[in-house]
Chains A and B, each alone.
Chain A
Amino acid sequence: MSQSTITIEDIVKKTADLPTIPAAAVRVMQAAESSTSTAASVAQILSADQSLSARVLRLANSAFYGLSRKVNDLQEAVVILGMRNIKNLALVAGTYPWMSRPLPGYCLGPRAMWTHAFGTAVGAQQVARVSGKVKDDVAFTAGLLHDIGKVAVSVWLENKVVAILNYANREGISFDEAERKILGYDHTQVGEHLAKAWNLPEDLVAAVRWHHSPDEAPDNPPLVDCVHLGNYLTMTMGFGLGGDGLLYRFSEGSLDRLGMKAVDLDQTTDTFVESYEQYEKLFEELVAA
């Protein structure tokens, strides 16, 4: 099969409707990592985005938090939910509109990409908690964004995915390896390009870039390993599987570096699914309106 002549830059330049993260969500992300942020300053950022503000208030008033009275004030909502929950909420609310669209290039129907991204976010968060080596909210963010490259590559893969799968199976290679053979790059490299264009922090860019090949990541950051394992849990449990299915390599090195053992993974799978189902209900309610 001959290699495509379209470059990563072409893909990013020529793809209409490329995803973006709302400015307020990016600012909340930055604020959550800053030691000088206060509930008042985060509430002020949120108030610039009416839709986001409404969702934050709805979440604070949801049955999940079980408050006895209604919260109408954004600053109070930030205090109740905590800065890190607010950050994840802002990201979920800001990415859902484009992540829930179908991606025909990967045979992902409506909401399938979202289900996979959200599953990986919850999975990476779970792994971060078990390993204790990464902040769990950072793992959630990285998991949510890990496949952003697929959104850009999808349109260029339409009508080709079965051929790529057949090629991968014939050559005995993984799906991302087949993407590189055919396109000259894979969705993680395109994702890296997008993540840099969005000015995401370096650790998130690395998680997007190396989530299928964590052993090759410079300095092996534990966040990359968390996302790799979160992605593995999500694929094995069948959350948002596309044409690429489970056709990816697994790195046992990720387990070693996080101090986890293969025998613990079944139990992590179990708690991951419980956690996923709990969060799914919560966020469904949130993004529905």
Chain B
Amino acid sequence: MPTATAVMVGMGDIHVAKGDAAYNCLGLGSCIGLVLFDPTTQVSGMIHVMLPETFPGRPVDKVGKYADVGVPELVRQMTAIGAVSSRLLAAYAGGAQVFKFGAGVESKLDVGARNTIAVTEQIKKLGCKVLATDTGGNCGRTVSVTIGDGNVRVRTVNNGDKLLCNLRG
């Protein structure tokens, strides 16, 4: 049974831990909640990404806000406490968008879809294995992760609480 107290992963936050841990990402609209886990070293981490990329020439106040620098930073912090990037298992949810967007990503307004693409690209580049995703649509999501039992759960108003995947297989 998981015993760790859940850490609230707010916008742009990055949290990492070794051993038992739990994370909550509340009220995801277009943002993405991404969890990574190395089953060998029991190192885990979560990020709450807001936007796909940093802005040229603008200082970055909080790395975790942006997928292009935030996801690599999450992996860096995890490897610093023992994780191996090629062993990392990934699960993520969010990336919703307002109604009637979503056929393509031509529109710069489609931030939910662009966040999803940006996170997916970074994970691929870093060599992590994606276990499950729940992205798109028009609903807000809450993601809860308990490393103790490996469960990643997603709650929406329409579909209630469901198990997205188990990080321990």
Which residues in window 56-76 of B have CB below 8 A to A? Answer: 58, 61, 65
CB-CB under 8 A from B107, the residues of chain A are 262
Given A237-B50, A241-B27, 12 further pairs, Cβ under 8 A: A174-B100, A238-B27, A238-B29, A239-B29, A243-B158, A246-B98, A246-B99, A249-B98, A262-B109, A265-B109, A266-B111, A267-B58
Task: From known contacts A238-B31, A265-B108, infer whether A246 and B50 are also in contact, taking CB-CB under 8 Å.
Answer: no
Query: How many A-B pairs fall under 8 Å by CB?
Result: 101
Contact status B31-A237, CB under 8 Å = yes
16 contacts between A and B (CB under 8 A): A175-B99, A235-B29, A236-B98, A236-B112, A237-B29, A237-B30, A239-B29, A241-B27, A241-B29, A242-B140, A243-B158, A246-B96, A246-B97, A247-B138, A250-B99, A262-B108
B25 to chain A, nearest CB (A): 9
The distance from the CB of B109 to the nearest CB of chain A, in whole angstroms, is 5
Smallest CB separation, A265 vs chain B (Å): 6
Question: For the complex, is B22 an interface residue (Cβ under 8 Å from A)?
Answer: no
The interface of chain A, by Cβ under 8 A from chain B, is 107, 161-162, 165-166, 174-175, 232, 235-243, 245-250, 252, 262-263, 265-267, 269-270, 273-274, 277
B35 → chain A closest CB, angstroms: 17
Nearest chain-B residue to A161 (Cβ)? B157
Taking CB atoms, residues of chain A closer than 8 Å to B154 are: none
From the candidates A161, A249, A273, name the one contacting B11 in the complex (CB within 8 A). Answer: A273
| Chain A nearest Cβ from B144, distance in angstroms | 15
A256 to chain B, nearest CB (A): 13
With A107-B157, A266-B111 as contacts: A236 and B27 at CB distance below 8 Å: no
Given A262-B109, A270-B51, A270-B55, A250-B140 contact (CB < 8 Å): no
- Cβ-defined contact, B30 with A238, below 8 A: yes
Question: Is there a chain A Cβ closer than 8 Å to B90's Cβ?
Answer: no
Shortest distance from the beta carbon of A77 to any chain B beta carbon, whole Å: 31
The secondary-structure label for the interface of chain B is loop
Residues of B within 8 A of A240 (CB): 27
Q: Does B139 contact A (CB under 8 A)?
A: yes
B51 pairs with A245, CB closer than 8 A: no
Interface pair A165/B157, CB less than 8 Å apart: yes
Which chain B residues border A277 with CB–CB below 8 Å? 11
Decide if A246 touches B139 in the complex (CB within 8 Å). yes
| Chain A: minimal CB distance from B161 (Å) | 14
The proximity string for B residues 147-169 relative to A, scoring 1 for CB distances below 8 Å and 0 otherwise, is 00000000011100000000000
Which B87-117 residues have a C-beta within 8 angstroms of A? 96-101, 107-109, 111-112
With A237-B30, A266-B55: A252-B158 Cβ-Cβ less than 8 Å: no
Docked-complex contact A245 and B140, CB < 8 angstroms: yes
How long is the Cα–Cα vector from A166 to B139 in the complex, in angstroms? 12
Within B10-51, the residues touching A (CB, 8 Å) are 11-12, 26-31, 50-51
Complex contact B11–A236 (CB within 8 A): no
Residue from B31, B101, B138 with most neighbouring chain A CB atoms (10 Å): B138
User: B residues within 8 A CB of A175?
Assistant: 99
- Find out whether the CB atom of B55 lies under 8 angstroms from the CB atom of A241: no
